[in-house]
Every structure is written in structure tokens, then in C-alpha cells.
Amino acid sequence: MRLLFATIGGFMLSILFKFMPAFVDLSFLHSTGFSVPNADGVYEIPFIGRMGFVFLICVIGMYSISMYETARGVKTNGLEIDRTMFKMSPGFTVGLLIVLSIIAAFYTIFC
């Protein structure tokens, strides 16, 4: 339930905050730096600020859902992690070293 809330809720909140300036005056947030006027003079929340708000709302929502489900006695099926899940094959290791070498070479050449 929490993951579903974070996925769907995060998407819906992102859309809501994107189009919020069309129906809400956000000039009251300008004094705190959370909104800036665009070329048309409409105050809007910058992308990083919007994503911060969405993240905080999703975390609070997931925490609330978790506390509610725990109080009701709902058991979740957790993922069991084993060391063997993180073992790399030799072919993967060689490919990884090649890719990192190419990135390092590009960085050295172009920066």
C-alpha cells in the first residue's frame, strides 16, 4: 500500500504542483524563496522545490500508512537480502572496468 501511494501519489502531486499556478496565487511563497515569477509574472514553484515538497508529502503519507497498517496488525512481506545477490560474474567485472576506463579517458580528454 505504501509503495502504491508513493508511486501514484508522487505522480499526481507532481502534476498538481506543476499546474497549481493556474488556479492558486503563489506570491505569498515568494518571501520565503519557494516561488519565483515567470516571464508572464505568474508565481510558480521551481522544479527542485516542487520535487522537495512532493518527496516530503510522500514520506509523511508512507509513514502514516505504515503506522495505520501496523496498528491494524497487517504483516508485510519483506525482501530477504543475501550476500549472493551482490556477486558479480567475471564477465561483468571486465565490462565494468572497460566502461569505467572509457569514462575516465573521456573525462581526461574533454575536461
**Is the C-alpha dihedral spanning 65, 71, 72, 73 positive or negative?**
positive
Determine, yes or no, domain membership for 69: yes
Domain of residue 10, residue span: 1-76
Q: Which grid coordinates belong to 30?
A: 515568494
Determine, yes or no, domain membership for 63: yes
| Chain mean pLDDT for the chain | 90
Q: How many CB atoms lie within 10 A of CB 104?
A: 10
Q: How many CB atoms lie within 10 A of CB 44?
A: 20
Determine, yes or no, domain membership for 22: yes
Determine, yes or no, domain membership for 21: yes
Specify the amino acid at residue 18: K
Determine, yes or no, domain membership for 54: yes
Determine, yes or no, domain membership for 60: yes
What is the total count of domains within the chain?
A: 1
Q: What is the mean pLDDT of residues 43-70?
A: 92
Looking at residue 66, what is its pLDDT?
87
Determine, yes or no, domain membership for 108: no
- pLDDT tens digits, 89-102: 999 999 999 999 99
Does the pTM surpass 0.75? The reply is: no
Q: Which grid coordinates belong to 25?
A: 496565487
Q: Which grid coordinates belong to 90?
A: 567475471
Determine, yes or no, domain membership for 82: no
Looking at residue 70, what is its pLDDT?
84
